[in-house]
Structure 1
Amino acid sequence: MSSKRKPSYKIRPTDVPNIKKRIREGDFLNRIAADYDVNPGRIAEIKTGKKFADISASP
């Protein structure tokens, strides 16, 4: 039995302003991650500035 899991979504720079806005507004990282089908660690990297540090949050 082979696992045919599709790869998770790759966050694009156009997604980041909305993700940062949701983080700023206090949304849980795991909920944001679930909406984008990514690991919460990817959202944490955005929160800490490890990824996409040069992109601002949506107003």
Structure 2
Amino acid sequence: MANPLVQDNRPRKTQFTFDEAIDVWLRRWSGQYHHEIAAAYVINWGRVSDVLKEQTHVGSKQEAARRIGRTA
């Protein structure tokens, strides 16, 4: 017999913190795709896109670049 479906009641993230936005940049630069980053944070991939388009958390790209010694 198949296992019954169990509802997952864990709350989902709806937005990133500034530090998470920095991590989004670092993950993207390391080669991860939007959907892979979103899955790691259990968040909609559109929120990842918002960070990468600098619509949210402006300055996170520069901070991520500073942390790894890269020019943004």
TM-score (norm 1): 0.77
Q: Deviations over 1:23-50 (max 9, x none)?
A: 1222111010000010000000001111
Query: Within 1, Cα distance between the matches of 2:40 and 2:47?
Result: 12
Structure showing greater relative contact order (alpha-carbon pairs closer than 8 Å, 6 or more residues apart): 1
User: Which structure has the greater CA radius of gyration?
Assistant: 2
Unaligned runs of 5+ in 2: 1-6
Structure 1 stretches lacking a partner, 5+ long: none
Query: TM-score, structure 2 length as denominator?
Result: 0.65
Aligned ranges 1:3-14 → 2 under 5 Å: 5-9=9-13, 10-14=15-19
Flag the structure with higher helix content: 2
